[in-house]
């Protein structure tokens, strides 16, 4: 982190500040989505934005996710820089055609003639007792699509810097925010800064085992690392921050150093983000690994409502702790 004046901001405040600063800087940036204006979104992330920027730049939409996403694509191609708000990540199901067959491919299909500089903000993560249609983490789908970039901040600092990069990027970027983290605080510099895509961040250094964790799973991995420390295992926690582009090098180097790796992500485990990252590490650190790479994703079931059941589906620090302990033969 650069040495500048810092304050503590919540994740929500950090996102909002990034958006507000970019909107002040660049008149082409605007926001649209359901209940983004006076309501400031159900998570209140955008509170106060409409007061500063007005209803022509913070735009409430009907409940028409494909429709307003399509409008964002066209606006982005013709000189604007839209930020689209998809309230719950579960509703990405509705915008796949506009994002995947349109936004992601326009630049390529036109041989570079058109660009689509847009950001789609959405959420991931369970734990809110919201059940199967409001708790999914569908970033694996987006990461699978050439032409999209995929961002998964895990701290207010990262959220602000990555959001600024996303808005300044000339490509469609999908930005996932964990619903449970909006109120978590962290230091954020006052000065303008950006964080490049494709640069993993070592959230904690360690020697014995690497824990790669994304988004909501970063604090969980850090808590597991603290538990591991108590039994004499030094865990390194690495946060890729963007699943595409993916900083394969940092992940592989950490695994080479520690010789063991666990990958934790809140998406469904099968054919999910943990598969890609585990495979990258298993290949890149093949001759250095002392144990198979361990994957820990959300249980491969639709997310249940009942608290004891839902809790069983989300990776916990205890599960990570046990896995790491076993891998380190402790």
Partner 1 sequence: MTAAATESGTGPALGAEKLLHIYRQMTRIRFFEEQVNDLYLRAVMPGLSHLYSGEEAVAVGICEALRPDDYITSTHRGHGHCLAKGATPDRMYAELLGKEAGYCRGKGGSMHIADPASGNLGANAIVGGSVGMAAGAAFSAKMRGSGQVAVCFFGEGALGQGLLYEVLNLSKLWNLPVIYACENNMYNEYTHYSETTAGEILARPAAFGIPAEAVDGQNVRAVHAVAGRLVNDARAGNGPSFLLCNTYRYRGHHVGDVNREYYRAKQEETNWLTTRDPIKLLGDWMISEKLAQQPALDKIQAEVKSEIEAAVAFAIKSPYPAVDQVKEDVYA
Ligand X SMILES: Cc1ncc(C[n+]2csc(CCOP(=O)(O)OP(=O)(O)O)c2C)c(N)n1
Residue labelled with tokens 């940036």: 29
Q: Facing residues of 244 across strands?
A: 150
| Residue count, binding to partner 1 (CB under 8 A) | 69
Site track 231-270 with its own copies (rule: CB under 8 A), x = hit: ------------xx-x--------------------xx-x
Query: Using CA of residue 11, residue 243, residue 174, residue 90, what is the dihedral sign?
Result: negative
Name, in order, each residue with C-beta under 8 angstroms of 75's C-beta and a sequence gap of 6 or more: 82, 118
Nearest to 93 by CA among 31, 53, 137, 131: 137
Q: According to CB under 8 A, which one of 291, 316, 319, 325 is a site residue for its own copies?
A: 291
Contact of residue 223 among its own copies, partner 1, ligand X, none (CB under 5-8 Å per partner type): none
Residues 306, 292: Cα–Cα separation, whole Å = 33
91 binds ligand X (CB under 6 A): yes
Q: What residues are annotated to the active site?
A: 134
- Looking at beta carbons only, is 32 or 261 nearer to partner 1? 32
Q: According to CB under 8 A, which one of 144, 204, 256, 325 is a site residue for its own copies?
A: 144
Cα torsion at 115, 116, 118, 124 (round to 10°)?
-130
194 binds partner 1 (CB under 8 A): no
48 binds its own copies (CB under 8 A): no
What does 156-221 look like in DSSP terms, one character per residue?
HHHHHHHHHHHHHSSS-EEEEEEGGGTT-EEEEESS-----TT--EEEE--SSEEEEE-TTHHHHH
CB of 3 to partner 1, least distance (A): 32
Residues 11, 217: Cα–Cα separation, whole Å = 15
Burial class (CB in 10 A: 0-12, 13-18, 19+), 307: exposed
Contact of residue 7 among its own copies, partner 1, ligand X, none (CB under 5-8 Å per partner type): none
Residues 132, 309 contacting (CB under 8 angstroms)? no
- Looking at beta carbons only, is 61 or 274 nearer to its own copies? 274
What single DSSP character describes residue 91?
G
CB of 57 to ligand X, least distance (A): 21
- Looking at beta carbons only, is 44 or 249 nearer to partner 1? 44
Q: Facing residues of 239 across strands?
A: 201
Residues 200, 261: Cα–Cα separation, whole Å = 15
CB of 102 to its own copies, least distance (A): 9
Contact of residue 293 among ligand X, partner 1, its own copies, none (CB under 5-8 Å per partner type): its own copies
199 binds partner 1 (CB under 8 A): no
179 binds partner 1 (CB under 8 A): no
Q: Which residues bind partner 1 (CB under 8 A)?
A: 30, 34-35, 38-39, 42, 56, 60-64, 66-80, 90-91, 97-98, 101-102, 106-117, 128-134, 146-147, 149, 170-171, 299-302, 304-309, 312-313
- The footprint of its own copies (CB under 8 A) covers 90-94, 96-97, 100-101, 104-105, 108-109, 131-133, 140-141, 143-147, 243-244, 246, 267-268, 270-276, 278-279, 282-284, 286, 289, 291-295, 300-302, 304
């Amino acid at each position: 982190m650069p040495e500048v004046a810092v304050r503590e901001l919540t994740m929500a405040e950090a996102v909002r500040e990034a958006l507000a600063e970019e909107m002040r800087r660049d008149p082409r940036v605007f926001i649209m989505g359901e209940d983004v204006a006076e309501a400031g979104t159900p998570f209140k992330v955008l509170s106060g934005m409409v007061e500063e920027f007005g209803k022509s730049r913070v735009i409430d939409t009907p409940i028409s996710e494909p429709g307003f996403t399509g409008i964002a694509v066209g606006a982005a191609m013709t000189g604007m820089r839209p930020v689209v708000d998809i309230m719950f990540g579960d509703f990405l199901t509705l915008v796949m055609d506009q994002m995947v067959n349109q936004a992601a491919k326009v630049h390529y299909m036109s041989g570079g003639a058109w660009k689509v500089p847009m950001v789609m903000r959405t959420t991931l993560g369970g734990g809110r007792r919201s059940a199967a249609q409001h708790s999914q983490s569908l970033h694996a789908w987006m990461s699978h699509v050439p032409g999209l970039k995929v961002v998964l901040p895990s701290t207010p600092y990262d959220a602000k810097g990555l959001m600024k990069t996303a808005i300044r990027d000339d490509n469609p970027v999908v930005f996932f925010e964990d619903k449970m983290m909006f109120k978590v605080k962290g230091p954020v510099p006052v000065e303008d800064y950006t964080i490049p895509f494709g640069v993993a961040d070592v959230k904690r250094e360690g020697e014995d085992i690497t824990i790669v964790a994304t988004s909501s799973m970063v604090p969980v991995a850090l808590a597991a690392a603290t538990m591991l420390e108590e039994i004499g295992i030094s865990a390194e926690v690495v946060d890729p921050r963007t699943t595409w582009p993916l900083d394969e090098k940092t992940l592989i180097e950490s695994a080479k150093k520690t010789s063991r790796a666990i990958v934790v992500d809140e998406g469904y485990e099968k054919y999910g983000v943990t598969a890609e990252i585990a495979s990258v590490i298993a290949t890149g650190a093949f001759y250095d690994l002392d144990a198979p790479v361990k994957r820990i994703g959300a249980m491969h079931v639709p997310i249940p409502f009942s608290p004891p059941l839902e809790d069983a589906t989300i990776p916990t620090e205890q599960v990570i702790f046990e896995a790491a302990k076993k891998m380190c033969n402790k």
